[in-house]
Chain A
Amino acid sequence: MHLIETRDLTYIYPGDVKGLDMVNFIAPRNARIAVIGANGAGKSTLFKHFNGILTATSGSVLIHGEPVTRENIRQVRKYVGVVFQNPDDQIFSPTVEQDVAFGPINLGLDDQTVQHRVDEALKMVGIEHLRDRVPHHLSGGEKKRVAIAGIIAMEPQILVLDEPTAGLDPQGVKDLVEFINSLSRTYGMTVIFSTHDVSLVPEIADYVYVMNKGTIVASGTTREIFIKQELLSSVRLDVPVLPKLIGALRNHGIEVEMAYTLDDAVSSFLRAYKGSV
């Protein structure tokens, strides 16, 4: 049984605008899934179906094999934590600690457990020192971490991040990549995220869905997706720099093994260099 499954999911916005069209999406346990697509492709609309914020016009959304209903909505929101793109949408308490405690309180936990969850979540995202700060005194990266901590404190099985790298500086992106990988590696959590930054995808995703105009136009491993350069260009996306560079070199007759992450690319180049001397 998959953690999340959508079957022919279709959603039509008021005004007869199609947001999603026959989307079939699967998220297994302990997976890192990227959903890539241009602006307006339907990524955020899809994510809002995962925890019942939006209700399908037709088709179905199954969480743990069960459809999302009024009765199980709270349980679904406990399983599926959604981090919004703009942290200001999500941080609404006067202090960081109070905001992180908001979710656990709503789960009906006692004060001691709430405190424990808050401490652990702040520690996990490395912002224990910001505990008593007010949100408007934080930088964009710090606010993003607070937003993530607020969801982590609910101990979801699936973490859904909408454009998590938007507005982050390079170090912030690097920290986030490490954090997402640790969630999957250490805690066995399933992480689903959307991004325009295709170069980031090979570093943190095992599986990729490509969306365009509300439909899924391709899905597969990073290797399977980034080989389809024409498809990506047709949906206003690009191939990451590393495979693009290696592809260009190969077109010029230089034998370099294809690689998608920095580490793999370094190994490929070293092997090619050593092979040539």
Chain B
Amino acid sequence: MIEDLFFLEKQTYKKSFIHNLDARVKIIVAFAAIIAVVSVPYTTMIYPVGCIFALLIAILWALSRLSPVFYFKRLIIILPFGLFLIFFQIFFKNRYYTTFTPIMEILPGIVIYAESIEFATILMIKFLVCISFVILLSSTTRVQDLLEGAGRLGLPAEFTLTLGMMIRYLFVFGYMYRKISQSLETRCFNPFDNSLPYRYRIRKLAYTIGTLFIRSYEQGERTYMAMLCRGYGRESHLYIKKKPLKAVDWSFLFCGMAIVVLTPLLVWFGVFQIL
């Protein structure tokens, strides 16, 4: 998991049209897309909207020149969280339908309804589109650029400073974890090594995690001291320079917003139809 952090960071440092766009533009378009897809009513009109948004994500992903395998790997990591909730929808009635048609009774009292399956599919499409935009945004934008972009868009100083420190120390502890793992490997300790007693392995892992907690606490104390040395106070905030948007950023913002806003509207008015 920690290594994924470094791998993800590596992807954000690649060069492409999407990578080079200003973070503000990417944040606005991604959040607009999420809001748009969430705002679509729970009807089958989500199918054409979802298809167009999926096409948009595919085009943007291709422009980012990142491997599709990377996208699917990240998707698989996130999927279980939503999938679990979506799956159970098929057994329940919901407030979006007036009549429910039973199609299968698994156990007495546990019935699968046709309308519930449709509802779960709609939820699934919404979920997939939303997380795809988040994956796209986080895979093509450096985390410090995301923070600066959010700051320029008006995220309060209290958040930017705290998040900035969180980002910084996420990597510090990433490296710390890596060193601890390497030191364990150097002394031939593998938590999955069955030749070692189970309790011994658990105890050693607990020591390691405990050490990491103590080190994080001590790091916090030292950092706070260093902050005080540099005049940290109520007025402290992250330094974010003014940065005008380039013509290409404006163009992308205009086109992206047009697609994101017009797609659900045109489907609503019946211009696009799949089913």
> B199 within 8 Å of A by Cβ?
no
CA A132 – CA B170 in complex, angstroms? 18
Residues of A within 8 A of B175 (CB): 136
Residues of A within 8 A of B201 (CB): none
Q: CB distance B239 to A98 under 8 Å?
A: yes
CA A111 – CA B242 in complex, angstroms? 10
Q: CB distance B168 to A135 under 8 Å?
A: yes
Q: CB distance B171 to A134 under 8 Å?
A: yes
Q: CB distance A88 to B172 under 8 Å?
A: yes
Number of interface residues, chain A, beta carbon within 8 A: 37
> Taking each of B223, B229, B237, B241, which has the highest tally of chain A beta carbons within 10 Å of its own beta carbon?
B229
> A45 within 8 Å of B by Cβ?
no
Q: Which of A92, A107, A136 contacts B165 (CB 8 A)?
A: A92
> A49 within 8 Å of B by Cβ?
no
CA A48 – CA B222 in complex, angstroms? 11
Q: Which of A74, A82, A101 contacts B233 (CB 8 A)?
A: A74
> A86 within 8 Å of B by Cβ?
yes
Q: Which of B171, B225, B231 contacts A78 (CB 8 A)?
A: B231
CA A106 – CA B230 in complex, angstroms? 7
> Taking each of A92, A95, A134, A151, which has the highest tally of chain B beta carbons within 10 Å of its own beta carbon?
A92
Q: CB distance B167 to A89 under 8 Å?
A: no
Quick one: given A101-B239, A114-B239, A136-B171, are A92 and B231 in contact (CB under 8 Å)?
no
CA A224 – CA B168 in complex, angstroms? 45
B228's nearest neighbour on chain A, judged by CB, is: A53
Shortest C-beta distance, B167 to chain A (Å), equals 5
Residues of B within 8 A of A115 (CB): 241
B225's nearest neighbour on chain A, judged by CB, is: A53
Residues of A within 8 A of B164 (CB): 92-94, 98
Shortest C-beta distance, A203 to chain B (Å), equals 26
Residues of A within 8 A of B229 (CB): 51, 53, 77, 81-82, 84, 90, 151
> Taking each of A53, A77, A84, A94, which has the highest tally of chain B beta carbons within 10 Å of its own beta carbon?
A94
> A103 within 8 Å of B by Cβ?
yes
A153's nearest neighbour on chain B, judged by CB, is: B230
Scan residues 141-193 of chain A and give those whose CB is less than 8 A from a CB of chain B.
Answer: 150-151, 154
> A130 within 8 Å of B by Cβ?
no
Q: Which of A95, A102, A108, A135 contacts B230 (CB 8 A)?
A: A102
Shortest C-beta distance, A155 to chain B (Å), equals 12
B169's nearest neighbour on chain A, judged by CB, is: A92
CA A154 – CA B219 in complex, angstroms? 23
> B273 within 8 Å of A by Cβ?
no
Q: CB distance A89 to B239 under 8 Å?
A: no
CA A111 – CA B241 in complex, angstroms? 8
CA A46 – CA B168 in complex, angstroms? 29
B142's nearest neighbour on chain A, judged by CB, is: A134
> A97 within 8 Å of B by Cβ?
yes
Quick one: given A105-B236, A105-B237, are A74 and B222 in contact (CB under 8 Å)?
no
Scan residues 156-172 of chain B and give those whose CB is less than 8 A from a CB of chain A.
Answer: 164-165, 167-169, 171-172
> A91 within 8 Å of B by Cβ?
yes
Q: Which of A78, A102, A134 contacts B239 (CB 8 A)?
A: A102
Q: CB distance A77 to B239 under 8 Å?
A: no
CA A98 – CA B160 in complex, angstroms? 11
Residues of A within 8 A of B142 (CB): 134
Shortest C-beta distance, A34 to chain B (Å), equals 21
CA A88 – CA B167 in complex, angstroms? 13
Q: CB distance A84 to B238 under 8 Å?
A: no
Scan residues 54-82 of chain A and give those whose CB is less than 8 A from a CB of chain B.
Answer: 74, 77-78, 81-82
Q: CB distance B231 to A154 under 8 Å?
A: yes
Q: CB distance A94 to B147 under 8 Å?
A: yes
Q: Mark B213-232, 1 if CB is under 8 A from A, else 0.
A: 00000010011011111111
Q: CB distance B230 to A154 under 8 Å?
A: yes
Scan residues 96-123 of chain A and give those whose CB is less than 8 A from a CB of chain B.
Answer: 97-98, 101-103, 105-108, 111, 114-115, 118
Shortest C-beta distance, A229 to chain B (Å), equals 36
Residues of B within 8 A of A84 (CB): 222, 225-226, 229
Q: CB distance B230 to A150 under 8 Å?
A: yes
Shortest C-beta distance, B36 to chain A (Å), equals 30
Q: Which of A86, A92, A135 contacts B227 (CB 8 A)?
A: A92
> Taking each of A90, A102, A151, which has the highest tally of chain B beta carbons within 10 Å of its own beta carbon?
A102
21 contacts between A and B (CB under 8 A): A82-B229, A84-B225, A86-B222, A88-B219, A89-B223, A90-B229, A92-B164, A92-B227, A93-B168, A93-B238, A94-B144, A95-B144, A98-B239, A101-B239, A102-B236, A105-B237, A106-B231, A106-B236, A108-B235, A135-B168, A136-B174
Interface residues, chain B, with chain A CB atoms under 8 Å away: 142-144, 147, 164-165, 167-169, 171-172, 174-175, 219, 222-223, 225-233, 235-241
Interface residues, chain A, with chain B CB atoms under 8 Å away: 48, 51, 53, 74, 77-78, 81-82, 84, 86, 88-95, 97-98, 101-103, 105-108, 111, 114-115, 118, 134-136, 150-151, 154
